A and B are shown apart, each in its own frame.
Chain A
Amino acid sequence: APLIFLQNELQRERYALSASLDNARHLGLRVTVEDAKCIQANAFIQAEIFQEFSVQEESVMFRVSLSVLLDCLTIFGTSSLPGTSTALRMCYRGYGHPLMLFLEEGGVVTVCKIHTQEPDELLDFDFCSTKVVNKIILQSEGLREAFAELDMTSEVLQITMSPDKPYFRLSTFGNAGSAHVDYPRDSDLMEAFHCNQTQTNRYKISLLKPSTKALALSCKVSIRTDAQGFLSLQYMIRNEDGQICFVEYYCCPDENITEAEL
């Protein structure tokens, strides 16, 4: 089933599901969740990943409970026996109608009817390439250990990006003291390094910690900041068939630290 492994990272209270047909961007499914009006996570599943994908209108958007959706998608369990596969069909008739899921495994069919609601207005972080100040692309394996071991007694995760040393640094300030992990620009893990300005920003660690799941599944991650210190994390995830999906996190900075204060 194409959707299951991606949905697992998004664990928030609020939720929106949209399918869009957009000539400029991609045809596919986008799942968005937000929290505290500071963080937004999106999972993109392109139309090509599905055997069939059709959207009648230009853009279709509705809100469903993510935990209900996940329970329905995993109704036959999360570990599949070798040789078994689950087939999924999703249908949405339009405004006011429920989201229908049809799942089949081993001749057993489950039909789910999930209540839909008005989609909330989503935050627009307005992150386009012209506004990006600093950008690096790293191989995920380099970051996994650092993220898994983040000191959660620290309230913030501080990210420093700079054309000079330390280039890329993750810092925490917890009960036991402060911890820093540095990634030099010439590291093997660094696929791209475009930093124009030294920036140090802090983000609430509780908001970013869940992104560890996306990191664990991904092969590459791009980290970008804009002039206001807004953060974009984009994860490239390859599924079992070699197809690519993206998950991205956008986060507001907790405070702005200028170079003078460092």
Chain B
Amino acid sequence: MRFRAKIVDLACLNHFSRIINTIAKLAKTCILRLTVCKLYFILSDKVANGGASMWCELCQGNFFDEYQMEGVAAEHNEIYLELVPENLSRALKTAQNAKAVKMKLTNKHCPCLRVAVELPSLSSSSRIVTHDIPVGVIPRRMWNDFREPSVPDFDVSIYLPVLKTMKSVVERMKNLSNFIVIEANLSGEMNLKIETDLVSVTTHFKDLGNPPWASEDGCQSSAQGRDLESMAEVCIDIKKLQQLLAGQQVNPTKALCNIVCKRVVHFILLHEEVSLQYFIPAIA
């Protein structure tokens, strides 16, 4: 099992750091899956995560100038590592003006992802700051636990409103309530609602648009035949929504959510080089 990679381009590095920061906001611990072409950050829906799950995918070619990996075996040319993304985020914080960042999987005393940041220096030799981030190697027999989640049989799919507005509203609502209801219909309308003994607040978004989905057999999605005005709703932990929105530092190219009434809300945030899916379950 080997992994070595290097980023030299500052823009790619900053972009990569931003992604890691977003992941760190969503998960204390997650799985990093390395394949020949892609990196994946995965959080599976264990009770410990409050049932939320995440799938983030990026093409290594868009970030790394050098990338070599060898998986556990020839037919299974992948590596699954468990790590604390906050550690990686902190290591990358020192790389804001770096000349290069190298990453390597090592196993001196225990498995680590070694991040070496080469910093500019006035003298002829570079300054190198090295961070050893402990990782856990996930054995192949457990890889099935981390498969890509399928798009649920949703009741309504809708584009999200401007994230900045949604972020402000959810931040304030978080001060007032622990839970939030997201409801939306096929007429491009979405409401965010909180209700407690002290106060109820509803924010109404209109004209958001509903993404067209084609299902496997070529027909329209399972939402066909559904009354356009009728709202599908789900009540979720507001902190999870706030963390998702807080982690979005740049506006995505496409942002939408799929609601399964009273069960789960599935967020899809697409940027040019990275896609993020986040599932928040309904409060029991």
Contacts known (A71-B176, A108-B205); A113 close to B200, Cβ less than 8 A: yes
Complex: how many Å from CA A71 to CA B194? Answer: 13
Interface check B74, CB cutoff 8 A: no
The interface stretch among B20-28, B164-172, B258-266 is B164-172
User: Can you name the residue of chain A whose Cβ is closest to the Cβ of B207?
Assistant: A107
Does B73 have its Cβ within 8 Å of any Cβ on chain A? no
CB-CB under 8 A from B206, the residues of chain A are 107-108
Q: Is the beta-carbon distance between A109 and B199 smaller than 8 angstroms?
A: no
Q: Taking each of A67, A75, A107, A111, which has the highest tally of chain B beta carbons within 10 Å of its own beta carbon?
A: A75
A-B pairs under 8 A by CB, number:
59
Is B202 on the interface with A (CB-CB < 8 A)?
A: yes
Interface: A114 (CB within 8 A): yes
A112 within 8 A of B: yes
**CB-CB contacts below 8 Å: B161-202 with A:** 161-162, 164-165, 168-169, 171-173, 175-176, 197-202
Could you tell me if B175 and A114 are in contact, using CB atoms closer than 8 angstroms?
A: no
Q: What B residues does A77 contact at CB under 8 A?
A: 164, 168, 171
Selected contact of B168 from candidates A72, A76, A107, A109, CB within 8 Å: A76
Contact A72 B165 (CB under 8 A): no
Measured as residues with beta carbon below 8 angstroms from the partner, the interface class of chain B is 20 to 34
Does A123 reach chain B (CB closer than 8 Å)?
A: no
Task: Give A112 Cβ to nearest chain B Cβ, in Å.
Answer: 5
Q: Is the CB of A105 within 8 A of B165?
A: yes
Please indicate the chain B residues that have their CB under 8 angstroms from the CB of A109 in the complex.
203-204
Task: Establish whether residues B200 and A112, one from each chain, have CB atoms under 8 Å apart when the complex forms.
Answer: yes
Chain B contacts with A in 54-73, Cβ cutoff 8 A: none
Contact across chains for A115 and B199 when beta carbons are under 8 A apart? yes
Interface string of A48-76 (1 = CB under 8 A from B): 00000000000000000101100110111
A77–B169 alpha-carbon span in the complex (Å): 7
- The reply to whether B205 and A110 form a contact with Cβ atoms under 8 Å apart is no
| A82 part of interface (Cβ distance < 8 Å) | no
Residues of chain B within 8 A of A108, CB atoms compared: 161, 165, 203-206
Residues from chain B with a CB closer than 8 A to the CB of A67 are 175
A144 to nearest B CB, angstroms? 29
Q: Are B201 and A72 in contact (CB under 8 A)?
A: yes
Asked if A106 CB lies within 8 Å of chain B CBs, one says yes
Contact residues, B103-155 vs A (CB, 8 A):
none
What are 27 sample pairs from A and B whose C-beta atoms fall under 8 A apart?
A65-B198, A71-B176, A72-B201, A75-B168, A75-B172, A75-B173, A75-B201, A77-B164, A77-B171, A105-B165, A106-B165, A107-B207, A108-B161, A108-B165, A108-B205, A109-B203, A109-B204, A110-B201, A110-B202, A111-B201, A111-B202, A111-B203, A111-B204, A112-B199, A112-B201, A114-B199, A115-B197
4 pairs of A and B residues whose beta carbons are closest in the complex: A77-B168, A110-B203, A112-B201, A113-B200
